[in-house]
Amino acid sequence: MFLMRGFATKGYATKLSLATSLLLLGLCANSFTASAQTAKGSDATSILSGKTIRLLIGFPAGGTSDSIGRSIAEKIGPILQANVIVENKPGANGNIAAAEVARSTPDGLTLYLGSLNNPVNQAAERKLPFDFVRDFAPVALVTHAPNVLIVTKKLPVQNVQELIALAKKEPGKLSFASAGAGSSLHMAGELFNYMAQVNMVHVPYKGSTPAMADLMGGHIEMMFDNLPTAMAQIKANNVRALGVTGPVRIAALPEVPTIAEAGIPGFSVTSYFALFTPTGTPAPVIQAINAATNQALAMPDLQEKFAQQGASPAPGTPEDLGNLTTSEIKKWAVVLKAANIKFD
């Protein structure tokens, strides 16, 4: 009765008490929410704690896929309290590795480092032992990385316009390398052919590393390469960069124009790298790996490492990656049909 009577006679006390009560309730609510989120994160991590996770990469060691894959693997392992092992399974433009992952148990212990070649293969309706949309669950987008057009120093061209002029003067005599049929590097070359109205012959390799070796040796005239792989050779002046494939110039090579501004308006191809797992993998496991990936991508040292290679972190949700895959399939289906490109 005393407290009730005090509240009634002293308005300021009533307001103070109510404010204090609301503050305490808010703190309790926030504490509960934070605790719940922490518990959720702990539960997610404990799912894979102590386990061995295999990350399969469909290209040889030393290339961009390998560099990106190993960089993210060494970061998410400690976050998940798991042992992440990288395995290179090169061949068939990454599809040998993809097929093995598609056949694996859907438990999150087998991951695949996918890239633009996967939606391209799907768009081309290639005869593969898996369906990328049906058999793979998106986990996490890792990076975006523009490609760069590079030529052997033996080729007498200094820019994109001169390359186009030479290709038109000698149709079918120039050739371009790629990391494999259906890769983003192959698609960049075919789009160049189509938009510039030239005919350069595609020569597929089993990854960027052997292709780069032949380019530097003058055995092939040009190639589109992932910037992280090409950067060292460009800086060492072993090859000549004519243009980047993205919509804007990049900080790592500010003097190199985009291909769009160098002579082919509207030209744009950007690679990306992402984690996938077999369809049927439990959602909590996918969320745990996604959260670990996003946490790793926020680390300054990893951001700096990617920046030096011309790549940029691309945190997001599994749904974001799923939407990207769908949109890329639609985009490249149109390009493949317009350019009459067939792989099989």
What does pTM read for this prediction? Answer: 0.76
pLDDT number for residue 45? 58
Q: What is the pLDDT of residues 22-51, one digit of tens each?
A: 333 343 333 333 333 333 444 445 689 999
pLDDT number for residue 309? 76
What CA–CA distances, in Å, run from 217 to 60, 148, 221, 224, 240? 20, 18, 10, 16, 13
pLDDT more than 70, % of the chain: 86
pLDDT number for residue 344? 63
SS3 label, residue 195:
helix
Q: What is the pLDDT of residues 111-155, one digit of tens each?
A: 999 999 899 989 988 889 999 999 999 999 999 988 999 999 999
Q: Is the pLDDT of residue 10 over 60?
A: no
Six-digit token string for 343? 């792989």
List of domains in the chain: 47-145+271-339 (3.40.190.150), 146-262 (3.40.190.10)
CA angle at residue 259 from 65 to 119, to 5 degrees? 40
1 C-beta neighbours (distance < 10 Å), count: 5
Q: What is the pLDDT of residues 72-91, one digit of tens each?
A: 999 999 999 999 999 999 98
What CA–CA distances, in Å, run from 110 to 7, 45, 113, 178, 307? 64, 16, 10, 27, 28
Q: What is the pLDDT of residues 219-275, one digit of tens each?
A: 999 999 988 778 889 999 999 999 999 888 888 899 999 999 999 999 988 889 999
Summarize the confidence of residues 160-178 as an average pLDDT. 95
d(Cα 307, Cα 310) in Å, to the nearest integer? 5
Contacts of 104 (CB under 8 A, 6+ apart): 110, 278
Q: Sign of dihedral through CA atoms 63, 64, 65, 70?
A: positive
d(Cα 75, Cα 69) in Å, to the nearest integer? 10
Q: Is the pLDDT of residue 192 over 60?
A: yes
pLDDT more than 90, % of the chain: 61
pLDDT number for residue 11? 40
d(Cα 324, Cα 188) in Å, to the nearest integer? 18
Instruction: Give the CA count within 13 Å in the CB-facing half-sphere of 270.
Output: 18
Q: What is the pLDDT of residues 284-311, one digit of tens each?
A: 999 999 999 999 999 999 999 988 777 8
Phi, psi of 110 (to 5 degrees): -130, 115
SS3 label, residue 301:
helix
Average pLDDT of the chain, as a whole number:
85
d(Cα 63, Cα 17) in Å, to the nearest integer? 65
Q: For residue 202, what are the β-bridge partners?
A: 176
Contacts of 98 (CB under 8 A, 6+ apart): 56, 58, 112, 114, 118, 128, 130, 132, 136
pLDDT number for residue 256? 96
